[in-house]
Homo-oligomer: A and B are copies of this chain.
Amino acid sequence: MNERQPVRRPGGRSARVGEQVHRAVTDLIGERGYGNFTVGEVAARAGVADSSVYRRWGNLETLLTDVALTRLNTRSPMPDTGSLEGDLRTYAAQVAREITGPDGPAVLRLAVALSNDGQRGPRAGDALRTERMRQLQSMLDRATERGESAPDAPTVLDHVLAPMYIRVLFGMVPLTPEYVDGLVDRLL
């Protein structure tokens, strides 16, 4: 992202609307569960015009995906601890905390539901997941630039994220710190 800064007023109205809408969605999810509300209800709760929501997200599915993947992945920034091991341990612990938190399993199930299943066309979740994998790869590239030997992002997905996701999806919880650290140890 350093090379290509998006043209957007820093902070300001856009960021504020984004926060208000995300918070409205999170509140409505807590009260009614996923999907049991409309774009109009989100807008009213956020105190913004329906058109602001439609202009930015297009439809409810895209908005839910944005909230789900923000919560799953980007609420916690990618760590930059100065070592690959530190980065991976911090990242894995953050993801474990997020997906086992109060709405964690529901949000993870939503992310699955919003993903391309290989039989339909691309869905809203795909672009955001691709972006998050790119950010993970950047974290790994920093390690390589420091002279460390780093795995690639799909390998981290397969051997650190996927086991945690599947255990949460199958209800095989909690994910203990020893278990999460063990996944990172095995990868390194």
Contacts and interface: CB of A to CB of B under 8 A. Distances in A.
Contacts of A158: 159, 162-163, 166-167, 183
Task: Determine chain A's interface SS by DSSP, over half rule.
Answer: helix
B162 A117 contact: no
A115 B169 contact: yes
Given A157-B163, A159-B159, A170 B100 contact: no
A36 interface: no
29 contacts: A100-B118, A105-B117, A105-B118, A109-B113, A109-B117, A112-B112, A112-B169, A115-B169, A115-B171, A116-B170, A117-B168, A117-B169, A118-B168, A118-B172, A118-B173, A118-B174, A123-B171, A126-B170, A126-B171, A157-B166, A158-B159, A158-B163, A158-B167, A159-B159, A159-B163, A159-B186, A162-B166, A165-B166, A166-B166
